[in-house]
């Protein structure tokens, strides 16, 4: 049975991906820091869908622990067919007031771990002539929303570039770019989201359903929701001074963190 590895699977988009993949018949490798929640999810997925769910406890901001994930991705005896880089982290404070350790940790999770896990997975996928890499980015990657936007811009461009590089190998790469999604992310980051109108919110399942369709169509970018499809076109092709102005005045929020 094919195996999918999902980082950050215990809530939000990561959990929705885990459920969708288990429903499709994939065995799973679940990667996060919280062993208790990982084990609970693994047991539920096994009971609900009859798949095998392996628990791999690792902090993706910690180099030696990240090596464990890389080693699992590189195994030839039980190869990974689908890699979902979903683990997320946000910094509430502005850059001028933030703690540099928090900034570095966010960069390590959002950029460093995506780089290293993808690099570990790609050679085997290319050799086997099949593989899927899903990197969960954000619509924030197209606006000027601080270091979170900058990190997600890297994820989006990296995914597009790799999709082009691997064309014809049988390996597909898609960057998933959601807007505001109902998850634990904002509460855990201590962000007040009460001023965001209802029409701007998506459910994690919507994001994942759209992502799976776009992967099947070999699309390098996936955006869920009519409102965000329209907004993504606007922010990607509008003059950059206008995008910067809109972001600064709050017309386009920089808080598109999710998970």
Q: Give CA–CA dist 223/208, Å, rounded.
A: 10
| Residues labelled catalytic | 148
Q: Which residues contact 136 (CB under 8 A, 6 or more apart)?
A: 13, 14, 84, 85, 86, 88, 155, 175, 176, 178
* Residue given tokens 């790469």 in the structure block: 173
Beta strands in 70-151 (DSSP E): 82-85, 131-136
The answer for residues whose C-beta is within 8 angstroms of residue 38's C-beta and 6 or more apart is: 9, 10, 30, 32, 55, 56, 57
Tell me, letter by letter, the H, E, C secondary structure of 145-178.
Answer: CHHHHHHHHHHHHHHHHHHHHCCCCCEEEEEECC
* Beta-bridge partners for 136: 176
Mapped onto helix, strand or coil, the DSSP state of residue 76 is coil
Residue 135 bridge partners (DSSP): 85, 175
- Find the angle CA(174)-CA(180)-CA(185) to the nearest 5 degrees: 95
Distance between first and last Cα of the chain: 27
Could you tell me if 135 and 173 are in contact, meaning their C-beta atoms sit under 8 angstroms apart? yes
């Amino acid at each position: 049975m094919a195996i999918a590895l999902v980082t950050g699977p215990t809530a939000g988009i990561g959990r929705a991906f885990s459920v969708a993949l288990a429903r499709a018949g994939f065995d799973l490798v679940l990667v996060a820091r919280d062993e208790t929640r990982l084990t609970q999810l693994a047991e539920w997925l096994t009971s609900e869908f009859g798949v095998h769910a392996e628990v791999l406890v690792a902090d993706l901001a910690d180099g030696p622990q990240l090596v464990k994930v890389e080693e699992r991705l590189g195994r030839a005896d039980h190869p990974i067919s689908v890699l979902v880089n979903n683990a997320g982290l946000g910094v509430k404070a502005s850059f001028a007031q933030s703690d540099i350790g928090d900034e570095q940790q966010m960069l390590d999770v959002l950029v460093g771990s995506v780089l290293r896990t993808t690099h570990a997975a790609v050679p085997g996928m290319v050799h086997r002539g099949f593989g899927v890499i899903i990197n969960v980015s954000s619509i924030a990657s197209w606006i000027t929303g601080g270091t979170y936007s900058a990190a997600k811009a890297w994820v989006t461009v990296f995914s597009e570039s790799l999709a082009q590089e691997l064309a014809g190998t049988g390996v597909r790469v898609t960057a998933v770019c959601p807007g505001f999604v109902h998850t634990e992310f904002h509460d855990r980051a201590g962000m007040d989201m009460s001023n965001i109108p209802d029409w701007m919110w998506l459910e994690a399942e919507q994001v994942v359903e759209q992502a799976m369709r776009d992967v099947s169509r070999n699309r390098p970018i996936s955006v869920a929701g009519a409102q965000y499809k329209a907004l993504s076109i606007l922010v990607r092709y509008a003059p950059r001074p206008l995008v910067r102005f809109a972001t600064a005045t709050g017309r386009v929020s920089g808080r598109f963190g999710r998970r």
